[in-house]
Structure 1
């Protein structure tokens, strides 16, 4: 996730304390030695030879939300640990595969796993994390274990479908905003929706509460993707960790761009974006101007605001403690309140 300028939610530290040991235990228990080595490296726990390291391993936003959903059901955060660890394992399954598909050679300042261990080993390690996530839930002594496992796998399938659609978009010049939003709902929203409800589902909460938490997460995920796409064009590199206009250089079919192209505000934009030759720096700046001029930036901001408001409404209708509701809203601000 791109760096936020909003205050870090207080639940993140609490989540890391519970989830990091559970993740390590799951990798050691369920994975064979070769796959465990790749997984340890990818998570930042060791170097490529297996020597322990002390590097940044991510914020663990999704598992923190899962622990919070366990609290929403009246349980302790610790009761949601198997679900939280499972969500994070699925997330890292997707990252291992994404790095290979995108040809990325660095993640969080280190070489990606596939560049050190090979694409086949990294692919298999990702697969192993996915099956481990399912095993964690099915082995949990909780009333909602089977239901939670089914929900996580359903969310994973939606995420995979969203990724496949995103790849297909690269070969089309007629993608619509509606299609792009559906893709974002699958690729980003599905796992966040699951994260926000899985702890409650594992605890056997009422369907109404699970549904509202799930809807909150889905809206939050789409809003997050809209903001992330905006940052991919106009974000400051010092805050986002990537160059301003990075998504334009590789001509991704991001939401602001698709909205601008759909508005048919500029033949120049389509000509630049769909040609085969790379864009130079002047052309990248020009494309950003054309996207904004065609309304792409305003459209994405408006849709992001819409989904944040919808997420808040889902929480307003949920029967949960006010302190838990406040923490969910804190996450919403953290994930979507970024400026560019």
Structure 2
């Protein structure tokens, strides 16, 4: 079952002033408004939401409004995230704010999250309070995570534990919400809904940790981002924080890169050396180990909660894909 037609139908409900930006963000049009090409790897949150709904309803139809709502709310967060980080591109195309301006990007993001709540409340009135409450809490957690992320860029004392807390809010909250809402709208009981939310939280951590690897060691032709993009921007991602928490001359050299230059981007040769130092300090290996740890935890929830073999296999396969996608 494709999420694309109902997602398009939902976006068509928006006012024309923001609809063109939303259609561009979702890959349906170019900057000029002509037909675009949807980049690969999209709608992952919608897919996981539908899969969690299929644990109860194999048709996945009852979970579709949850999938649409989560994709809209997640899209809002991504549009705003590009504004916050001043990222010029997303998935190889100009970000919404760089294509249409910052006011249009902010207002489009606001419109998407408002539409997400409307669709969710309309879908199943009997659980509207719980479903909208879960989405509201997810939005609040994402905002908390965004604030921490911004704060961490100014701090020199960020620990691995601090970072994982931030990621659980910024990335885990929406995936946890999608997993829970897919099951909730399909008619699942409280234990399964809560358990799938825990699975989703782990999946969100895996998702972000993998993105942290891609931001340093990813193939630009597959990620759509410049090589060493996170290093050049001096972002304190999990591999960097892990490396900075070690001791020794390589750590000391790495600290020089992250303690100088202010907000200026590193030059190519500096970024190449910094990435090498991160790897020498164990940042790459520790990130890979953390991904495996979170994957084991996610699989544990599946084995405990999802008796249907096909559903469990599909969810497990998706988790494994997130753990090593696009590298």
Settle same-fold status: TM greater than 0.5.
yes
| SS in structure 1 at match of 2:123 | coil
Question: Which shows bigger deviation, 118-127 or 173-182?
Answer: 118-127
What pairs up with 1:181-260 in 2 under 5 angstroms? 181-260=164-243
Q: How many residue pairs align between the two structures?
A: 323
Which is bigger in relative contact order (C-alpha 8 A, separation at least 6)?
A: 1
1: CA distance, partners of 2:114 / 2:307: 32
Equivalent position of 1:113 in the other structure: 96
1:194–1:20 Cα change, 3 Å: same
| SS in structure 2 at match of 1:165 | helix
| SS in structure 1 at match of 2:235 | coil
* CA contact 1:170–1:253 (8 Å) conserved in 2: yes
2: CA distance, partners of 1:236 / 1:270: 25
The question of 1:163 aligning with 2:150 is answered no
Equivalent position of 2:290 in the other structure: 303
2: CA distance, partners of 1:286 / 1:47: 37
Question: Which shows bigger deviation, 87-96 or 145-154?
Answer: 145-154
Equivalent position of 1:9 in the other structure: none
The question of 1:97 aligning with 2:80 is answered yes
* CA contact 1:143–1:203 (8 Å) conserved in 2: no
- Give the root-mean-square deviation of aligned CA atoms: 2.0
The question of 1:326 aligning with 2:313 is answered yes
2: CA distance, partners of 1:229 / 1:253: 9
Return the offset for 1:54.
4.1
Equivalent position of 2:11 in the other structure: 27
Equivalent position of 2:256 in the other structure: 271
Spell out, residue by residue over 1:57-88, the C-alpha distance to the aligned partner (whole angstroms, 9 max, x if none).
75211001111111112352111111000000
1:100–1:136 Cα change, 3 Å: same
Q: Structure 1: state its 5+ residue gaps.
A: 1-13
* CA contact 1:44–1:57 (8 Å) conserved in 2: no
TM-score, L = length of structure 2: 0.92
* CA contact 2:124–2:185 (8 Å) conserved in 1: no
Spell out, residue by residue over 1:268-287, the C-alpha distance to the aligned partner (whole angstroms, 9 max, x if none).
11112210164333322222
Return the offset for 1:189.
0.9
2: CA distance, partners of 1:46 / 1:229: 29
Question: Which shows bigger deviation, 107-116 or 308-317?
Answer: 107-116
TM-score, L = length of structure 1: 0.88
2: CA distance, partners of 1:231 / 1:43: 22
The question of 1:284 aligning with 2:271 is answered yes
* CA contact 2:50–2:64 (8 Å) conserved in 1: yes
1:134–1:179 Cα change, 3 Å: same
2: CA distance, partners of 1:79 / 1:55: 25
2: CA distance, partners of 1:36 / 1:279: 37
* CA contact 2:91–2:223 (8 Å) conserved in 1: no
Equivalent position of 1:130 in the other structure: 113
* CA contact 2:91–2:225 (8 Å) conserved in 1: no
1: CA distance, partners of 2:87 / 2:281: 31
